[in-house]
């Protein structure tokens, strides 16, 4: 799919574009772990904000997708803050965490039937990236990177979105680690459910979790 085609698809849903960008530029005020406002109060995007007849036919679980998105945003920020190696991209962690789902949301809202078929294939055991390739000729990560470029977002954010499943460059690596950590915590992505596994409390894992207040605190923040 060419960049022009990506831009055309993304521009087909200006409300989605606006709400995602507003969310990515928002950040919750620091609060005690005992008093956390519902995410939708401080962030411009939440399940019902993007809900519509088209995207609801895509078979995405929007509530699960929202929890995943917020968890990944908070964890990406924590990964960046926990390791000096991510110093240059530290301020972008939360933003890229919110925006990493843009490819999935745009594909689902613009092509709900094809996305629904991809979801059903994934729930039967096919890797979601393979399922998306079978339906769209592109997966949501690569497509999301193209959307980010079409929106004029910084190259480092677009590249991280595209490489969210493999890591590599600092911001992409932080996002990749955050996604894996969220999955290990049993936080599914709205397409398939994630099994709760025993967390590996290595230094790489423990430091970000400590910054978000621990697994239980993070779960409370995303509910």
Residue 32 placed within a domain: no
Q: What is the mean pLDDT of the chain?
A: 78
Token look-up 């729930």 returns 123
Selected residue with higher pLDDT from 197 and 157: 157
Rounded CA separation 175/201 (Å) = 18
The tokens describing 34, both together, are 């005992």
Residue 74 placed within a domain: yes
Give me the number of domains the chain comprises: 1
- Provide the pLDDT for residue 45: 44
3-state secondary structure of 222: helix
Q: What is the pLDDT of residues 151-181, one digit of tens each?
A: 888 899 999 999 999 989 999 999 999 999 9
The tokens describing 171, both together, are 């911001």
**Per mean pLDDT, which range of 11-20, 63-72, 76-85 is the poorest?**
11-20
Residue 31 placed within a domain: no
What percentage of the chain reaches a pLDDT higher than 90? 34
Q: What is the pTM of this model?
A: 0.79
- CATH number for the domain spanning 190: value is 1.10.3210
- Provide the pLDDT for residue 30: 42
Rounded CA separation 116/108 (Å) = 8
Containing domain of residue 108, as a range? 3-26+37-222
């Amino acid at each position: 799919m060419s960049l022009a085609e990506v831009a055309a698809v993304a521009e087909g849903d200006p409300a989605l574009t606006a709400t995602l960008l507003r969310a990515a530029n928002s950040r919750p005020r620091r609060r005690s772990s005992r008093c956390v406002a519902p995410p939708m109060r401080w962030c411009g995007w939440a399940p019902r904000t993007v809900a519509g007849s088209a995207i609801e036919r895509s078979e995405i679980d929007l509530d699960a997708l929202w929890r995943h998105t917020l968890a990944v945003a908070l964890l990406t920020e924590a990964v960046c803050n926990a390791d000096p190696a991510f110093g240059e991209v530290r301020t972008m962690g939360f933003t890229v965490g919110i925006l990493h789902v843009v490819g999935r949301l745009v594909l689902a809202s613009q092509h709900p039937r094809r996305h629904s078929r991809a979801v059903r294939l994934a729930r039967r055991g096919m890797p979601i990236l393979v399922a998306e390739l079978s339906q769209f000729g592109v997966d949501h990560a690569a497509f999301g990177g193209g959307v980010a470029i079409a929106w004029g977002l910084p190259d480092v954010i677009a590249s991280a979105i595209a490489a969210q499943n493999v890591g590599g460059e600092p911001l992409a690596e932080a996002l990749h680690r955050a996604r894996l950590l969220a999955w290990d915590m049993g936080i599914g992505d709205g397409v398939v459910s994630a099994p709760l596994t025993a967390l590996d409390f290595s230094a790489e894992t423990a430091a970000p979790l400590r910054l978000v207040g621990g697994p239980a605190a993070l779960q409370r923040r995303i509910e």
